[in-house]
């Protein structure tokens, strides 16, 4: 009994942080998630990126300008690592991407993941983590499917600080399933816009030499 106790505390001690790097946003179970989101995929490649390494202060300024909002707080910083899952088809060509970002929510961190096709159009949207009184409504499939078919161009006119979209645009048509959770709804939209901008900076602008696909 005592040995078990000692071993237990040894294991308790092992609940420690090896690395002092900032926390990124990884899929909890990449094998399962990739198979679920891309049923025909043959595999995936994981790429680790950060604004600091990819373009430094200049890139951060560009991202903030496109987002229409400053990166803020203790944890939204230039050195946050981003994990990009590049999905491969049977012929080993890239058929899509999965990318997630952390976003501050009303009661905790929100992790917003997007699965996109190879041109950057959203195939699937979901919260990997969300703490909210209206979590059930926000996590409903009805809410997530609204994002299907949207791309960065649809979010370009969305004003993050005010949380207002241009009337008549696809983003303006997105319905908040829980009016009491307006802050978390806005946080989700900010996360999607940031996610799409980062993907554009990390992947599409690079592969098209700065021209949008």
| Interface with other proteins (CB under 8 A) | 1-18, 20, 22-23, 28-29, 33, 73-76, 102-110, 127-133, 135, 139
Name which of 121 and 132 has its Cβ closer to other proteins. Answer: 132
Name which of 23 and 35 has its Cβ closer to other proteins. Answer: 23
Name which of 4 and 58 has its Cβ closer to other proteins. Answer: 4
Which DSSP string do the residues of the chain spell out, in sequence order? Answer: -HHHHHHHHHHHHT---S--SPP----SSHHHHHHHH-TT--EEEEEEE-HHHHTHHHHHHHHHHHHTS---TTTS-TT--EEEEEEE-TTS-EEEEEEEEEEE-SSSEEEEEEEEETTS-EEEEEEEE---TTHHHHTSHHHHHTTTT--HHHHTT-BTTTTB--TTSTTTTPPPS-GGGHHHHHHHHHHHHHHHHHHIIIIIHHHTTTS--
Name which of 94 and 107 has its Cβ closer to other proteins. Answer: 107
CB 37 to other proteins: min, Å = 12
């Amino acid at each position: 009994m005592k040995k078990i106790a000692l071993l237990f505390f040894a294991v308790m001690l092992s609940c420690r942080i090896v690395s002092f790097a900032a926390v990124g946003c990884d899929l909890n179970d990449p094998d399962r998630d990739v198979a679920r989101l891309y049923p025909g995929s043959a595999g995936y490649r994981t790429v680790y990126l950060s604004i600091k390494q990819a373009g430094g202060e200049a890139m951060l300024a560009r991202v903030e300008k496109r987002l229409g909002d400053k990166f803020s707080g203790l944890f939204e910083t230039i050195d946050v690592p981003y994990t990009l899952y590049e999905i491969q088809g049977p012929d080993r060509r890239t058929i899509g991407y999965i990318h997630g970002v952390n976003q501050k929510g009303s009661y905790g961190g929100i992790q917003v993941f997007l699965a996109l096709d190879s041109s950057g159009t959203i195939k699937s949207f979901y919260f990997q983590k969300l703490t909210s009184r209206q979590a059930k409504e926000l996590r409903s499939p009805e809410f997530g499917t609204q994002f299907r078919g949207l791309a960065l161009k649809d979010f370009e006119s969305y004003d993050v600080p005010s949380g207002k979209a241009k009337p008549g645009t696809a983003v303006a048509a997105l319905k908040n399933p829980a009016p009491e959770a307006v802050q978390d709804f806005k946080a989700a939209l900010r996360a999607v816009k940031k996610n799409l901008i980062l993907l554009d900076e990390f992947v599409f602008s690079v592969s098209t030499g700065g021209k949008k696909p």
